[in-house]
């Protein structure tokens, strides 16, 4: 029997089972592999990607002004590639019903399938899988012209090509959540071929659709509620695009939407993390080398397919802003793009967005223009491994350049996936703006993985086969829990954005408690537009284990006592990040910089180099990071508190605003002294929700804006000493925070 860590996990799984039953068990008596009910395949042709009513409108689509760039790309591809020509001619056959053209398509396609073999290079099965799509298109769309012998030949070749796929045929290999079997080979290639040849050879459809319904679909319908994807800035949108093929394939069969409709909001993650320069905040394994500097990163076809299916103009706007997509996916934009859909500006979106369980991520912005500040905050309720890193509790900040960054390089002199650099630095916590607890003799339990002082390897960094494996507590994929989140007081342009979480489970038994709290402040000031307050409570199992607070930078930081300055001026950037350390106290704080030549990727005595050619580095979007700031208490203790304030400015702007620590009983926080008002943030030292009365004093004459976290939900009152006026505050269950503004002085918060 499956064990669940929380009631939420159990209820979620029950919901998924009920949803799958309603979708897959009521559509058709057809049965897939292992008894899984699957949608019916209608007896007519065409039925793959479109039906007769859609084919009847193809001539009109070819003339639609919205699709003219798509048509031109297809025509250009057809001149260069025999495979693309076959597909383009198949489209023309749908329009003309020209039997001679249809015969040419068939007679051209079959030799292509017969000659297609698995090349001796990495990921070559993507090419043989894509050839299956070509064969499936011809088989289905030209079905009436096929002879019995040709049908046999097509089926024979499609089965042969299916056997070249990494999942094998029958498709039983690898996982259905991450890895290559979570991409096209099952969800598009075998599914497409299976639908095309179903009348003569139903096995392939039953195998592919059965595994999809049994494994791929439950996992996605579970994590779609979080409105995000777990495979990073590059593989994430890429793999999400594969998810959208079954969306359309099954819908065109007549099954409707087989997915949790929250799928619609997954691409919003890449809207919020897109920087003003068109790149995305780094996350997971990044192949930035493929995009030249100065060009926006594409969204892949999944964004426009989602926009078209759900009628989402904001997603269409993002797709167009990022220059759309191309490659051999163009035909699907011709088939499925909604040409009546109008763009809706991303500028209408709120500045902050929460990406919930099983992720626990928050992105806050100060706007959508060139001068926007972007801050990302992560808890990571689950770690899906593969292309996701061990970065629970990490943050990033962008303003006129990348200031607080993820460090390392996916592909270079050390190799790519699984290189010593990846295993010992890039994938590890030490390469991110998170926390280390260094135990000198810690063994991370898998060969090739050294000791970075960071987070453990969930299930040895083995990929979960399906949702049941991911949710099983003994496998350790759960790495954290969001304690509070929210933004306000204006939900459209919030002054504050909050995320708090417990990430103890991300670490081994060396950690007894690790809690991190983020507060991002939109200061509404052109010179100092934003600040971030980060509070950490770290309790180690042994007092002598040294703890490290990390901040990674692209350019060399300047450290002065308990403060530091980071500039980003390369490539015409002008951003600046300043750090003020409020805890540990100055007498106990060791603030140092690490990096530079020979120490770019330094891990406790060893540099895991991963160099790239200077020309490649110069022309690409690669941002490796070569420096970091380490903050560590000097004195050994089981419990340590970290309180740090980060402010962003332009290198040409005045210095940072004055910052000082504020203590108020069981709360600790800071005062940021702006020219017109003071900003106050207070957090409970033990990160516990409190019902106790709080008394705080903010000296001076300026108005104050106050955020108090870790309050028990319900109605609270705020009163300033010497005033008869009482402010009534409603603390909600999600954020557990109170926000109010008023004159400086002594304030009391009570129930």
Which residues are annotated as catalytic? 180, 235, 387
Q: Residue with structure tokens 């060791």?
A: 590
612 and 289 Cβ atoms separated by less than 8 Å = yes
Measured between alpha carbons, how far is 107 from 145 in angstroms, rounded to an integer? Answer: 11
Number of other CB atoms surrounding residue 600 within 10 Å? 22
CA–CA distances in Å: residue 229 to residues 54, 233, 240, 363, 409: 31, 9, 7, 14, 21
Measured between alpha carbons, how far is 738 from 212 in angstroms, rounded to an integer? Answer: 46
Please tell me whether residue 542 adopts helix, strand or coil conformation.
coil
At residue 666's C-alpha, the angle toward residues 737 and 673, to 5°, is: 65
Per-position DSSP letters for 470-506, written without gaps between them? HH-GGG--B--EEEEEEEESSSSS-SEEEEEEE-GGG
For β-strands 511-522 and 496-502, DSSP reports them as antiparallel
SS3 of 123-179: the string is CCHHHHHHHHHHHHHHHHHCHHHCCHHHHHHHHHHHHHHHCCCCCCCCCCCCCCCCC
- CB under 8 A, 24+ apart: contacts of 146-152: 146/106, 150/106, 150/110, 151/197, 151/200
By C-alpha distance, which of 280, 283, 277, 282 is closest to 295? 277
Instruction: Name the strand (E) or helix (H) holding 330.
Output: helix 330-336
Measured between alpha carbons, how far is 40 from 576 in angstroms, rounded to an integer? Answer: 58
Q: Which tokens hold the place of 692?
A: 């106790």
409 and 612 Cβ atoms separated by less than 8 Å = yes
- Phi and psi based region of residue 164 (left: phi greater than 0; alpha: psi -120 to 50; beta: remaining): alpha
By C-alpha distance, which of 240, 321, 218 is closest to 284? 240
Instruction: Name the strand (E) or helix (H) holding 607.
Output: strand 606-607
Q: Residue with structure tokens 């620590």?
A: 661
Q: How far apart are the first and last CA of the chain?
A: 45
Burial class of 103 by CB neighbour count within 10 A (0 to 12, 13 to 18, 19+): middle
Please tell me whether residue 309 adopts helix, strand or coil conformation.
helix
């Amino acid at each position: 029997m499956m064990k669940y860590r929380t009631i939420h996990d159990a209820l979620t799984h029950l919901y998924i089972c009920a949803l799958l039953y309603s979708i897959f068990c009521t559509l058709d008596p057809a049965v897939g592999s292992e008894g899984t009910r699957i949608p019916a395949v209608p007896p007519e042709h065409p039925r793959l990607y479109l039906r007769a009513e859609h084919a009847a409108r193809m001539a009109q689509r070819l003339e639609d002004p919205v699709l003219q760039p798509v048509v031109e790309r297809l025509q250009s591809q057809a001149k260069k590639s025999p495979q693309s020509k076959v597909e383009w001619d198949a489209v023309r056959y749908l329009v003309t019903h020209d039997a001679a053209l249809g015969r040419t398509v068939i007679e051209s396609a079959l030799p292509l399938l017969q000659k297609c073999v698995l090349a001796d290079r990495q990921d070559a099965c993507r090419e043989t899988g894509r050839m299956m799509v070509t064969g499936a298109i011809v088989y289905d769309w030209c079905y009436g012209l096929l002879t019995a012998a040709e049908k046999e030949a097509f089926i024979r070749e499609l089965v042969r090509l299916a056997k070249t796929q990494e999942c094998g045929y029958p498709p039983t290999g690898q996982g259905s959540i991450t890895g290559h079997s979570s991409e096209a080979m099952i969800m598009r290639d075998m599914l497409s071929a299976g639908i095309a040849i179903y009348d003569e050879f139903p096995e392939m459809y039953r195998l592919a659709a059965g595994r999809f319904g049994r494994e791929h679909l439950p996992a996605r319908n579970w994590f779609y509620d979080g409105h995000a994807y777990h495979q990073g800035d590059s593989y994430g949108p890429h793999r999400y695009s594969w998810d959208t093929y079954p969306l359309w394939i099954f819908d065109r069969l007549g099954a409707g939407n087989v997915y949790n409709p929250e799928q619609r909001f997954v691409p919003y993650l890449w809207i919020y993390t897109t920087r003003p320069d068109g790149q995305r905040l780094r996350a997971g394994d990044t192949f930035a080398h493929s995009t030249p500097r100065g060009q926006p990163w594409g969204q892949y076809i999944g964004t426009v397919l989602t926009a078209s299916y759900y009628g989402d103009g904001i997603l269409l706007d993002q797709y167009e802003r990022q220059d759309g997509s191309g490659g051999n996916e163009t035909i699907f934009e011709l088939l499925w793009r909604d040409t009546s859909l109008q763009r809706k500006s991303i500028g209408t979106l709120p500045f902050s967005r929460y990406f919930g369980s099983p992720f626990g991520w928050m992105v806050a912005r100060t706007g959508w223009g060139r001068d926007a500040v972007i801050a990302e905050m992560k808890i990571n309720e689950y770690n899906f491994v593969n292309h996701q890193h061990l970065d629970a509790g990490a943050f990033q900040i962008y303003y006129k350049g990348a200031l607080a960054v993820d460090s390392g390089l996916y592909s270079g002199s050390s190799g790519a996936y699984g290189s010593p650099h990846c295993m010992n630095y890039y994938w590890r916590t030490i390469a991110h703006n998170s926390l280390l607890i260094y135990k000198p003799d810690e063994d991370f339990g898998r060969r090739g993985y050294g000791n970075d002082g960071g987070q453990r390897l969930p299930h040895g960094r083995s990929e979960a086969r399906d949702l049941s494996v991911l949710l099983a507590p003994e496998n350790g994929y759960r790495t954290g829990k969001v304690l509070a989140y929210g933004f306000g007081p204006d939900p459209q342009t919030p002054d504050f954005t909050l995320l708090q979480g417990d990430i103890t489970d991300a670490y081994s038994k060396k950690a007894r408690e690790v809690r991190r709290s983020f507060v991002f402040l939109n200061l509404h000031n052109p010179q100092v537009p934003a600040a971030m307050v980060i509070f950490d409570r770290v309790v180690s199992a042994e007092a002598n284990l040294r703890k490290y607070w990390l901040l990674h930078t692209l350019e060399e930081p300047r450290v002065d006592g308990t403060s530091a300055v980071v500039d980003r001026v390369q490539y015409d950037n002008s951003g600046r990040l300043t750090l003020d350390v409020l805890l540990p106290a100055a007498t106990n704080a060791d603030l140092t910089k690490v990096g530079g030549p020979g120490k770019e990727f330094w891990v406790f005595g060893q540099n895991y180099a991963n160099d790239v050619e200077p020309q490649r580095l110069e022309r690409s979007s690669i941002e490796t990071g070569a420096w970091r700031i380490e903050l560590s208490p000097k004195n050994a203790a089981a419990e340590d508190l970290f309180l740090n304030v980060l402010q962003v400015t332009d290198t040409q702007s005045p210095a940072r605003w004055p910052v000082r620590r504020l203590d108020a009983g069981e709360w600790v926080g800071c005062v940021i002294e702006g020219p017109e008002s003071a900003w106050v943030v207070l957090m409970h030292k033990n990160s516990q929700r409190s019902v106790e009365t709080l008394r705080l004093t903010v000296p001076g004459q300026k108005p104050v804006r106050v955020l108090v976290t870790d309050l028990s939900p319900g109605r609270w009152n705020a009163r300033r000493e010497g005033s008869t006026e009482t402010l009534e505050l409603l603390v909600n269950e999600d954020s557990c925070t109170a926000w109010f503004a008023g004159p400086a002085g002594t304030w009391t918060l009570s129930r």
